[in-house]
Amino acid sequence: MAKCNVCGNKLAELFLGKLKGTVVKKEGSNKQYNVCFECQKKLGSKEEILKKIK
Ligand SMILES: [Zn+2]
């Protein structure tokens, strides 16, 4: 199961197989990071989320 790359919590899967949360991409990288809804709400912007992901 996918994990949030910020807090490490497991992402809850919805019935349509869609993750509850978002996926962010780093500039100049094809790597995708999962971010849970809670962290998305807490951090607000993609920039802030990326700062938290090393
Ligand atoms: Zn999280």
How many C-beta atoms lie closer than 10 Å to residue 24's C-beta? 18
Q: What are phi and psi of 42, to 5 degrees?
A: -70, -45
For residue range 5-53, what is the model confidence (pLDDT) as tens digits? Answer: 999 988 876 555 666 788 899 888 888 898 988 899 999 999 999 999 8
How many domains, in total, are found in the chain?
Answer: 1
The pLDDT value given to residue 51: 93
How many angstroms is it from 16 CA to the middle of ligand 1? 20
Q: For residue 38, what are the domain limits?
A: 1-54
DSSP 44: -
The pLDDT value given to residue 5: 93
Tracing tokens 């919805």 back to the chain, one arrives at: 14
The pLDDT value given to residue 17: 61
How many angstroms is it from 28 CA to the middle of ligand 1? 23
pTM over 0.85: no
How many angstroms is it from 10 CA to the middle of ligand 1? 8
Within 8 A by CB and 6+ apart from 36, the residues are 4, 6, 7, 9, 11, 20, 21
How many angstroms is it from 15 CA to the middle of ligand 1? 20
The angle subtended at Cα 49 by Cα 8 and Cα 11, nearest 5°, is 35
The pLDDT value given to residue 41: 92
